[in-house]
Amino acid sequence: MDGSSETNEMQAELDSVEAELELVQLQITELLQKQAELTSRKNVLLERLGEACDSAQPSSSASSTESCGHVMSKQEMQHYDGTDFPWSKEVVWNLKELFKLSKFRPLQLRAINMTLSGKDLFLVMPTGRGKSLCYQLPAVCSKGFTLVITPLVSLMEDQIMYLQLINVPAAMLNASISKNNAKAVMAGITDPKSPFKLLYVTPEKIAKSKLLMSCLEKAYKAKLLSRIAVDEVHCCSQWGHDFRPDYKLLGILKRQFPKVPLLGLTATATSSVLKDCEKILCVQQPITLSASFNRTNLYYEVRIKDPDNEASICDIASLIKSRYQDQSGIVYVFSQKDAELVSSELQKRDILAYPYHANMDPDSKSRVHREWTANKIKVVVATVAFGMGIDKPDVRFVIHHTISKSIENYYQESGRAGRDDASADCIVFFGFSDIFRISTMVVMENVGQQKLLQMVDYCQNLDRCRRSLMAVHFDEVWDDEGCNQMCDTCCRVKDYSTVDITEHAKQVVQIMELAASMDEKLTPLKLVEAWMGKGPAKHRKTIKPTTLSRQQVEAVIVRMLLQGYLREDFSFTPYTTYFYMKLGRKAPLLKIQSHTLSMKMRITDGRSAVVRAASGQGKAKQPKRSVQCAGDAPVSKKIKTDLP
Ligand SMILES: Nc1ncnc2c1ncn2[C@@H]1O[C@H](COP(=O)(O)OP(=O)(O)OP(=O)(O)O)[C@@H](O)[C@H]1O
């Protein structure tokens, strides 16, 4: 053997060893990822188990730590759910007669009794579950007034309008009110007759107005300052997602008025953020009450969206007509154009539906909102612009014509259903091409892509309860029992079977490799078509078509994307973003004989019960000729959407 062929052989062996090493590295990464997922799940479960054990302990020795620093026994905690306090009669009377509510929601009475007992408290409760009542009701039952710190003037105005409606005197101090008005409010603070029960101020006012602080000082001395409520308390902490510098200065309140109980309210705060808030606000060992994010009255369902837009609207129309005749609901859509189109199509099918999006004039928007609230309009077909201030109790369904851009967004949007605690449905129509429409929109966001894929996983996953998939995002565990058959996966466990898709995935890789070898970029649609033997005649000759249905083809591609066998690739022009598919970092694993890939699929008919093995299983040959992949229309056009 001459020197050069020896070198060639060694080079070939080196290449092969390097390739193998790369595969091993991928397997290690995959296992480490799995380990991290399992560890995080284990930690959440351990925490839950700890809580469960605490609450199972005999009351004499119980020591539940439901607070950041303050230790309170379970029995003591439960004591605050009672109605034998000196103020209880007044509290219950006001709940019914003033606020016109029949009963308390979980944790409301506990929070109210605790704050009326003078305890400092952090209340973590999902949006729309009724945090405001926890300081509004105590304010009415206390002498003097409650100081409420709120970050947004619009939220302040909404609350004051509502309180005026129910005859509770309230005032506000912010940059938008007149000097005379501000003067009257300042005078009211020290008035022993307390002309208002709640005073709303921005954190800036506390930080900057010496006059306000001196009035509050006088009110404190005269025992007129009964309570301090800090809304959106997570804004204090730089670790929170919405830090506001003026919140950092609110520590002055507890330093100046140490005997006034403080109530911090938030819908989103981890325990480390709350610890930080505790320090910033100078509260010592506050009790933290956290309500579960699990909305037990909501039924979650995912339906496959028909690729034909008209057919998909037809599906929504018949769903509304058959299940929600004369009931109130929202259909969320992706773009302003979709809002116009879907609402007019629903109208053609005798459904009283109107569009709502950011590009409508303010009068039309508020008319749609008003008439829907008054039940004159049954369905609002809206972009995400329909969100803030939507507080209709009897929304019986929220249908997503297009998936949300993240699970957190989906939770908020779907959470507008069933606020009256009666059962309501949250249904997503999951369409393959929608993934890529949204992808191009979120591509510039920090973790936009990652969050979108979590939403896609929520839609495609048939292994786990939909609730439990959502719970992870709120650091909670809602197991199947917690679901109580209130999602389609829990209801239809028997309709799904696990299918080995390894050979199918290998075919996809082959197509991608061929395209890459020809320097051709594949859009998701083109990949589907090439695999199904559709598209130009020359493609059909080169690729052996799959035996899978279009729905299954799309499902396999989505699974491969979610698991890293495929990945997204974008190219940008000043006007639009183009979306293509690429092989993912795990694609080489499919070259290993022992590596398998499986997924759950819905058994809708005999055919899909077992997805038949791809042709040429185990000995797939490379087609000799290449796939012609270029030429299909790029996925993204410039679309007007209402970003949240
Ligand atoms: N006990 C109750 N029973 C029925 N409805 C209630 C109850 N408590 C509050 N609500 C209603 O729930 C809705 C939402 O309340 P609220 O605005 O206080 O929520 P929130 O938790 O402050 O939400 P956000 O985080 O959006 O500010 C209101 O319409 C309120 O009247």
Distance between CA atoms of 355 and 349, rounded to whole angstroms?
A: 15
CA distances from 498 to 465, 476, 493, 526, 533 (A): 16, 27, 11, 27, 26
Q: Are strands 598-602 and 496-500 parallel, antiparallel or unpaired?
A: antiparallel
Helix (H, G, I), strand (E, B) or coil at 429: strand
Q: Are 620 and 504 in contact (CB under 8 A)?
A: no
Nearest-CA residue for ligand 1 atom 12 is 130
Q: Are 122 and 68 in contact (CB under 8 A)?
A: yes
Q: Which amino acid is at 569?
A: D
The ligand 1 atom nearest the CA atom of 133 = 18
Instruction: Provide the pLDDT for residue 641.
Output: 55
| CA 589, chain centre distance (Å) | 33
In the chain, the percentage of residues whose pLDDT exceeds 90 is: 54
pLDDT digits (tens, 9 = 90+) for 509-518: 999 988 888 8
Please give the radius of gyration of the chain, using alpha carbons only, rounded to the nearest integer.
Answer: 29
Instruction: Provide the pLDDT for residue 388.
Output: 67
Instruction: Provide the pLDDT for residue 445.
Output: 78
Is the model's pLDDT at 225 over the cut of 70?
yes
128 pocket-lining for ligand 1 (C-beta < 6 Å): yes
| 3-state helix vs strand vs coil in the chain, percent to 5 | 45, 15, 40
pTM score of the predicted model: 0.75
Q: What is the complex's ipTM, to 2 decimals? A: 0.98
Distance between CA atoms of 134 and 122, rounded to whole angstroms?
A: 11
Residue whose structure tokens are 């006059």? 211
Domain 498-602 in the same topology as domain 298-492: no
Q: What is the mean pLDDT of residues 196-210?
A: 93
Residue whose structure tokens are 């369409």? 431
pLDDT digits (tens, 9 = 90+) for 594-617: 889 999 887 654 443 334 444 433
Q: What is the mean pLDDT of residues 42-63?
A: 56
The ligand 1 atom nearest the CA atom of 132 = 18
CATH number of 498-602: 1.10.10.10, 3.90.1150.10, 3.30.200.20, 1.20.1250.20?
Answer: 1.10.10.10
Q: What is the mean pLDDT of residues 576-591?
A: 89
Q: Are 173 and 200 in contact (CB under 8 A)?
A: yes
242 pocket-lining for ligand 1 (C-beta < 6 Å): no
**What is the average pLDDT score of the chain?**
85
Instruction: Provide the pLDDT for residue 473.
Output: 79
Confidence of residue 321 (pLDDT cuts 50, 70, 90): very high
Is the model's pLDDT at 2 over the cut of 80?
no
Nearest-CA residue for ligand 1 atom 25 is 127
Distance between CA atoms of 213 and 211, rounded to whole angstroms?
A: 5
Q: What is the mean pLDDT of residues 236-252?
A: 83
CA of 156 to the centre of ligand 1 (A): 15
Q: At what angle do helices 524-532 and 502-517 cross, to 10 degrees?
A: 110
Distance between CA atoms of 429 and 440, rounded to whole angstroms?
A: 19
The ligand 1 atom nearest the CA atom of 155 = 27
Helix (H, G, I), strand (E, B) or coil at 463: coil
Q: Where are the beta strands (DSSP E) in 383-454?
A: 395-400, 424-430
Q: What is the mean pLDDT of residues 566-591?
A: 88
Instruction: Provide the pLDDT for residue 240.
Output: 63
Domain boundaries, the chain: 74-290, 298-492, 498-602
Instruction: Provide the pLDDT for residue 65.
Output: 35
Residue whose structure tokens are 């409606």? 165
Task: Copy the structure tokens of residue 538.
Answer: 């020359």
Q: What is the mean pLDDT of residues 538-556?
A: 82
The ligand 1 atom nearest the CA atom of 95 = 1
387 pocket-lining for ligand 1 (C-beta < 6 Å): no
Element (H, E) at 496: strand 496-500
130 pocket-lining for ligand 1 (C-beta < 6 Å): yes
According to CATH, the topology of domain 74-290 is Rossmann fold (3.40.50)
CA of 393 to the centre of ligand 1 (A): 9
* Out of 46-55, 76-85, 555-564, least confident range: 46-55
Distance between CA atoms of 378 and 351, rounded to whole angstroms?
A: 8
pLDDT digits (tens, 9 = 90+) for 248-282: 899 999 999 999 999 999 987 777 788 899 999 99
CA of 411 to the centre of ligand 1 (A): 16
Task: Copy the structure tokens of residue 195.
Answer: 């002309």
Q: Give 96's DSSP letter.
A: I
Nearest-CA residue for ligand 1 atom 9 is 130
Instruction: Provide the pLDDT for residue 60.
Output: 31
* Residue-by-residue DSSP string for 58-81: -GGG-----BSS----HHHHHHTT
The ligand 1 atom nearest the CA atom of 103 = 1
Sign of the C-alpha dihedral, residues 524, 530, 534, 538? positive
Q: Give 131's DSSP letter.
A: S
Domain boundaries 298-492, corresponding CATH code: 3.40.50.300
Q: CB count, 10 Å around CB of 537?
A: 7
Mutate to test the pocket of ligand 1, among 96, 101, 104 (most ligand atoms within 8 A of CB): 101
CA of 112 to the centre of ligand 1 (A): 14
234 pocket-lining for ligand 1 (C-beta < 6 Å): no
pLDDT digits (tens, 9 = 90+) for 95-154: 999 999 999 998 999 999 999 999 999 999 988 889 999 999 999 999 999 999 998 887
Is the model's pLDDT at 521 over the cut of 80?
yes
